[in-house]
């Protein structure tokens, strides 16, 4: 552990935030905006007076049960890393896994989700997330080295 990084961010995905009702999913697909990426599709529905809820979907097109479950785990984990930077009200989102999502690295899924949320204008100011908070897993560019001036 690194010395004194401050309190750990809340990275839970509480049951109260799960989008479960079929009609709610249908409303997001029908009335919401879609943002397409290579690993996932993000559907967003803005409405006043609703709490933030998120649904995660992987159809049979993604593959068998094992591949669908892995895809959903990756999407759920990526959402957990951006959750604290999203508005807490007025938002229903559905993350839909695309073919190949299960083969992607967590960093790639997180990067794409951040990019799609940025296109949607939803990410609040803040740095990029670090999956697991482990050293070396940050999604920033590697540091550049500078050569000292030759004399």
CB-CB contact of 57 with 4 (8 Å)? no
How big is the chain, counted in residues? 151
pLDDT tens column, 121-135: 998 555 555 544 433
The percentage of residues in the chain with a pLDDT greater than 70, rounded to a whole number, is 76
N-term to C-term CA, the chain: 41
The pLDDT of 77-100, averaged and rounded, is 95
The percentage of residues in the chain with a pLDDT greater than 90, rounded to a whole number, is 70
Q: Strand, helix or coil at 63?
A: coil
The pLDDT of 39-65, averaged and rounded, is 96
Tokens of 70: 């892995």
pLDDT tens column, 11-51: 778 888 999 999 999 999 999 999 999 999 999 999 999 99
Cα 115 to Cα 37: distance, rounded to the nearest angstrom: 9
CATH 3.30.230.10 applies to domain 26-121:
yes
């Amino acid at each position: 552990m690194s010395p004194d990084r401050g309190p750990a961010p809340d990275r839970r995905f509480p049951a109260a935030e799960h989008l479960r009702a079929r009609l709610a999913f249908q409303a997001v697909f029908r009335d919401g905006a879609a943002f397409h990426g290579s690993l996932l599709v993000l559907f967003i529905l803005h409405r006043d007076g609703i709490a933030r809820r998120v649904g995660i979907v992987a159809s049979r097109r993604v593959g068998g049960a094992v591949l669908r479950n892995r895809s959903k785990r990756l999407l759920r984990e990526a959402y957990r890393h951006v959750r604290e930077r999203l508005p807490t009200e007025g938002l229903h989102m559905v993350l839909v896994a695309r073919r190949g999502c299960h083969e992607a690295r967590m960093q790639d899924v997180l990067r794409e989700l951040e990019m799609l949320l940025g296109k949607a204008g939803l990410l609040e100011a803040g740095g990029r997330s670090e999956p697991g908070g482990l050293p070396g897993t940050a999604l920033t560019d590697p540091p550049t080295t500078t050569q000292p001036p030759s004399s």
